């Protein structure tokens, strides 16, 4: 048997071991990456709700004559929020704001609500939905599926938990 000089490389077994190690690392890292993305989406959702709350207060005091903006497009048109948020969807969350005109018994008010775009297991964009009324208190609940359930004032007021300002 003659030995060939200058032939170097990896054997098939060595290559399979390297591929197996890369597969194991990916299996550990990908779920953590997806969880981090969901957490970032929730943080962005909360921040966007706060931004819309501030924009509604500014609109009421400057352009609205005491009334709140009819929708996110109006706030975006006044350059009070960015165009992406004005379109109703940002960072894996859907957003809607619903104003109520002043009546003889109640002042003008509004609610801003957000819910994850997707609640399917692997492609889930968040776990909680968020809402806020003119009092500025962020509310959340774990029923992330439906945006319309919190799009009214009563639905927001019955949200299960309060979110601290640090989240």
- pLDDT tens profile 49-66: 999 999 999 999 999 888
Please name every residue paired with 112 in a beta bridge, in sequence order, or none if there are none. Answer: 97, 132
3-class state of residue 111 by DSSP: strand
pLDDT digits (tens, 9 = 90+) for 106-154: 888 999 989 898 888 778 888 888 989 888 888 888 776 666 555 667 7
Where do the H-state alpha helices sit in 2-161? 12-62, 72-77, 83-86, 153-157
pLDDT higher than threshold 80 for residue 162: no
Segment 63-87 shows an average pLDDT of 93
| Alpha carbon distance 126, 115 (integer Å) | 8
Query: Does pLDDT of 163 surpass 70?
Result: no
Query: Is-contact 52 112, C-beta < 8 A?
Result: yes
What dihedral do alpha carbons 99, 155, 127, 123 form, nearest 10°? -60
User: Between β-strands 89-90 and 93-100, what pairing exists: parallel, antiparallel or unpaired?
Assistant: antiparallel
Residue 56 neighbours by CB under 8 Å, 6+ apart: 68, 69, 75, 97, 99, 110, 112, 134
């Amino acid at each position: 048997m003659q030995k060939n000089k200058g032939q170097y490389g990896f054997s098939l077994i060595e290559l399979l071991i390297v591929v197996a190690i890369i597969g194991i690392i990916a299996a550990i890292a990908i779920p953590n990456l997806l969880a981090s993305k969901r957490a970032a989406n929730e943080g962005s959702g909360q921040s966007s709700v706060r931004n819309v709350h501030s924009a509604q207060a500014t609109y009421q005091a400057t352009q609205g004559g005491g009334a709140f903006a009819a929708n996110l497009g109006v706030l975006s048109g006044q350059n009070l929020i960015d165009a992406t948020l004005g379109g109703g969807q940002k960072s894996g969350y859907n957003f809607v704001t619903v104003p109520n005109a002043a009546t003889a018994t109640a002042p003008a008010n509004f609610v801003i609500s957000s819910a994850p775009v997707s609640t399917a297991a692997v492609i889930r964009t968040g776990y909680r939905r968020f809402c806020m009324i003119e009092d500025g208190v962020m509310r959340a609940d774990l029923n992330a599926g439906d945006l319309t359930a919190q799009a009214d004032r009563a639905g927001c007021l019955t949200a299960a938990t309060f979110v601290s300002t640090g989240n």
